[in-house]
Amino acid sequence: MHLTKKDLEETDRVKKLNIINSISGIKPANLIGTVSKDKLSNVAIFSSIVHLGSNPALIGFIARPTGEVPRNTYDNILENGHYTINHVGEGFVKKAHYTSAKFDTDVSEFDACGLTEEYLFDFKAPFVKESGIKLGMKYVESMPIEINGTILVIGEVEHVIIPDEALNDKGYIDLAEAEVTGISGLNSYYKLEKIGSFPYARVSEVPDFKNN
Ligand SMILES: Cc1cc2nc3c(=O)[nH]c(=O)nc-3n(C[C@H](O)[C@H](O)[C@H](O)COP(=O)(O)O)c2cc1C
């Protein structure tokens, strides 16, 4: 199958959306937990989480355009200044998926989807109790992406929670051990299997691939 830009433009809208959403490969599966100034909690699934730098520890995500549809996650982040990022574990992918439904603002997806909100360390936003790996984030800035009206939302890591058995003494996290999942497109969830781990790639240490 080869599709040009013109072919894609002529493809059924939903099919094109599915192809383009899946084509970049496996994306991380995370739930963003927030709370409004009226203390109404919110949790929703996001796959666009991206590492932006380690010092300071910055993580970004892409928020869809704000418009007619209320974007509770983004609004709450702006109001509260804090939010959590919680990895979706194998045991609750279905519950996590349904947090994407367009619930009314006064409905907490924690209740509607059977997830447990958890307040830790006096942090101002709810963590997801079912989640093994989770981050407490402080909002830093937003960058509009003009071509499609999306927003890159940037936050600084204030808390990191990792199951002891998934973290080694060098700081590497074993995502398979932590039973976290990956997403293809907008509806397919994958479990992870570690298939390799290699040292920092120095030119002087590159194996002889031409003869082996
Ligand atoms: C697998 C999956 C991944 C998603 N990733 C994102 C994302 O990265 N950014 C985004 O704005 N919405 C994403 N969504 C849609 C949100 O989950 C959805 O709009 C949700 O209703 C947002 O909740 P809120 O209105 O409470 O913020 C995703 C949905 C699914 C099913």
Q: Which residue has the CA at smallest separation from atom 13 of ligand 1?
A: 46
The CATH number of 27-205 is 2.30.110.10
The reply to whether the predicted model has a pTM over 0.85 is yes
- Map out the domains of the chain as residue ranges: 27-205
The tokens of 86 are what?
Answer: 């919680």
| 156/98 Cα distance (integer angstroms) | 27
- As for ligand 1, residues whose beta carbon falls within 6 Å of it are 42, 44-48, 61-64, 71-73, 97, 100, 102, 183, 186
Ligand 1 binding pocket mutation candidate from 100, 104, 111, 186 (most atoms within 8 A of CB): 100
211 CA distance to ligand 1 middle (Å): 47
Q: What does the pLDDT read at residue 69?
A: 75
147 CA distance to ligand 1 middle (Å): 19
SS3 207: coil
Looking at residue 120, the DSSP 8-state letter turns out to be -
Asked if residue 70 has a cis previous peptide bond (ω within 30° of 0), the answer is no
Q: What does the pLDDT read at residue 70?
A: 76
10 CA distance to ligand 1 middle (Å): 26
Q: For residues 135-157, give the mean pLDDT.
A: 97
Q: What is the mean pLDDT of the chain?
A: 94
Read off the pLDDT of residues 167-201 as tens digits, 9 standing for 90 and up.
999 999 999 999 999 999 999 999 999 999 999 99
Residue 43 C-alpha from the chain's centroid: 12
| 37/201 Cα distance (integer angstroms) | 47
Ligand 1 binding pocket mutation candidate from 46, 105, 109, 187 (most atoms within 8 A of CB): 46
Rg (alpha carbons) of the chain, rounded to whole number? 19
The tokens of 176 are what?
Answer: 């398979």
150 CA distance to ligand 1 middle (Å): 12
Q: Which residue has the CA at smallest separation from atom 26 of ligand 1?
A: 72
Read off the pLDDT of residues 157-171 as tens digits, 9 standing for 90 and up.
999 999 999 999 999
Read off the pLDDT of residues 20-71 as tens digits, 9 standing for 90 and up.
999 999 999 999 999 999 999 999 999 999 999 999 999 999 999 887 777 8
Better-predicted residue by pLDDT, 109 or 106: 109
**123 CB contacts (<8 Å, ≥6 apart)?**
82, 84, 136, 158, 159
157 CA distance to ligand 1 middle (Å): 21
> Binning pLDDT at 50, 70 and 90, where does residue 89 land?
very high
63 CA distance to ligand 1 middle (Å): 8
188 CA distance to ligand 1 middle (Å): 14
Q: Which residue has the CA at smallest separation from atom 2 of ligand 1?
A: 186
